Structure 1
Amino acid sequence: MTSPDFTRNRENFCYRHPDRQSFVLCQRCTRTVCADCQTQAPVGVICPECMKADRKAQTPAQRRAHRAWRTTSGSSQPIATYAIIAVTSVVGLLQLLLGPIVDRTLLFATPFLLPDMFGGDFSFQPWRMLTSMLVHSGITHFLLNMLALWMIGRSLEPLLGRGRFVALYLIGGLGGSVAMAVLDPVVATVGASGGIFALMGALLVIGRHIGANIRGILVILAINLAIGFIQTLNIAWQAHIGGAAVGALVGLIFARTRKRSQRTAQILLLVALTVVLLAIAFLVTPIVLRSLF
């Protein structure tokens, strides 16, 4: 279901398939194209008309190079979503085969950001803020997260494009780890929940921006956030909130910098957000820890 504003704004739909919603623009003519109409180019995607124009202007050597590019560039399928699930599944298999050593190697805990505050028992390993997204506390935790990623990624990745989707997932995961470091610095954490909640937060903001009916997304997000506060489930609600909040910010950046001419601004804003998150992790966390000990 969609709102009247969404229906009236034809820029929210593919120019060749008026019933298909999309958030991806042709990098040549800036028309909106759905997943079936996107052709991967060396930079971004282009629409069928621009592709036809390119082919007419190509030399025989360029046509051969173009055919080679198409064989390696893939399709409009949510490849990034499948790749993330595949990598996480490999790590999950290693957890089953090797046991706790995988958890200890990849999990995130605040002392890995501030080893000097803990008597030198920890080394400086900030990358754990992202590697913790690859390990889970059990099969159920893993399956639920991967199911959510598969369900959301199939719709959101074609809407954003692979690069934006991966950036959203990683920055959201970083936001979840930073929230854990600030709100509960004495607890270690694992799981992809931060990145997944970032996808939901971004989907909520982008849907609101293009005039879609976001009630269903809002209800699902609210339910999942509420579940995190059930103590018996031992869920890191801090990572959920952090991921959702950062995802909403990333979604706002995407929504406000959609034009090709705004690509540089979009990248700079994403970098600035990442820097702010890292600054919070390294500057605010010591203050929180000193107040606790």
Structure 2
Amino acid sequence: MSTDFQRNRDNFCYRHPDRQSFVLCQRCLRTICPECQTPAAVGVICPECLRDQQKSQSPAQRKAERRWSRPRAVSASSGQPIVTYAIIGLTAFVYLLTLIPGGFGDSVQQTLLYWAPLMYPDVTGRFEPWRLLTGALVHAGIWHVGLNMLALWMIGRSLEPLLGRWRFLTLYVLSAIGGSVAVTLLSFTTPVVGASGAIFGLFGALLVIGRHIGANIAGIALVLGINLVIGFIPGFNVSWQAHVGGLLVGLLVAFIFTRTRAVRQRGLQIGLLVAVGAGLVALLFVPVVFPGLVLA
């Protein structure tokens, strides 16, 4: 290294004179080393220019920068949405089983659908708690299963990588159970099938998480609103109770995810999710303790 080169301070970081560099701050044009570089819209800027830029920002700009500088994902997961594909595959497999003639298909559907009285041995003499979840695996027809799985595929391929596989699965399972619990409380004697409760939970989570990361959620809200209204229109054979139950649970679970993102909060997050599950189980005791509050 020549003496002239060493004497030229433009060849060294102005904050660390012993570090050679040829990268310039895009604002002040002084040389900065990698440690002093902060990525900007074009090129990099030095720490002093960064401070000046932050001082000149309006309150709205500072708020937007804080929002977008937060971790974008509750727990980022790379790769394909494996859980989404697995749920679609399992649901499709169960639907194909229900198509087997000779009474076998009908037996599969009757074994897996959700009917609230089967949660209470004193009512039917049987206790089949698995139906809280398996009701989401059986469907009433090709359009029913097709539309639900299409919605799952569209939402899952965006939401699962954002949440991570285990969180996404937890969200789906709790939302499905939430739909069954709502049916228990609001339509006790009605047998129901379909993954709509779980799908509405995903919709609710997408609303909360989308708003949290600053995304435009108007389109999601519109689609969700239309689907909710359809459930209340006479003639449409859908369970609005499952929709509402799944949606409320999805909103709650997503709220927990967005407020417990840090690694140090993982224990708190798991504890809150367990509490949600316990709360849903506790609601199943309402028909026993307060039978007058349950709608037939």
Matching residue's letter, 1:108: Y
1:79 corresponds to which residue? 82
Indicate how the Cα distance of structure 1 residues 153 and 291 shifts in structure 2: closer, same or farther if over 3 A, else same. closer
1:109 corresponds to which residue? 115
Is residue 2:295 matched to residue 1:245?
no
Give the alignment of 1:181-220 within 5 angstroms: 181-220=184-223
Q: For the residues of structure 2 that align with 1:7 and 1:228, how far apart are their CA atoms?
A: 40
Give TM-score, length-normalised by structure 1. Answer: 0.75
Q: What do the CA deviations read for 1:138-191 (whole angstroms, capped 9, x no partner)?
A: 111000000000000000000000000000000000000000000000101111
Q: Aligned with 1:232: secondary structure?
A: coil
2:26 corresponds to which residue? none
8 Å contact from structure 2 (residues 287, 293) kept in 1: no
Matching residue's letter, 1:151: M
2:68 maps to which of 1, 4, 10: 10
Q: For the residues of structure 2 that align with 1:6 and 1:163, how far apart are their CA atoms?
A: 30
2:263 corresponds to which residue? 260
Give the alignment of 1:55-204 within 5 angstroms: 76-97=79-100, 98-118=104-124, 120=125, 123-204=126-207
Structure 1 outlier segments of 4+, above 6 Å = 290-293
Q: For the residues of structure 2 that align with 1:7 and 1:273, how far apart are their CA atoms?
A: 33
Q: Identify unmatched segments of 5+ residues in structure 1.
A: 14-21, 26-32, 39-75
2:73 corresponds to which residue? 23
Q: For the residues of structure 2 that align with 1:290 and 1:261, how far apart are their CA atoms?
A: 41
8 Å contact from structure 1 (residues 108, 128) kept in 2: yes
Matching residue's letter, 1:9: R
Q: For the residues of structure 2 that align with 1:136 and 1:268, how far apart are their CA atoms?
A: 33
1:72 corresponds to which residue? none
Q: Identify unmatched segments of 5+ residues in structure 2.
A: 1-59
More helix by share: 1
Indicate how the Cα distance of structure 1 residues 96 and 286 shifts in structure 2: closer, same or farther if over 3 A, else same. farther
Q: Which has the higher contact order (CA 8 A, sep 6+)?
A: 1
8 Å contact from structure 1 (residues 179, 242) kept in 2: yes
8 Å contact from structure 1 (residues 113, 125) kept in 2: yes
Deviation at residue 12 of structure 1 after TM alignment: 4.7
8 Å contact from structure 1 (residues 179, 239) kept in 2: yes
Larger Rg: 2
Matching residue's letter, 1:112: L
RMSD in angstroms over aligned alpha carbons?
Answer: 2.1
Q: For the residues of structure 1 that align with 2:82 and 2:144, how far apart are their CA atoms?
A: 23
Is residue 2:274 matched to residue 1:274?
no
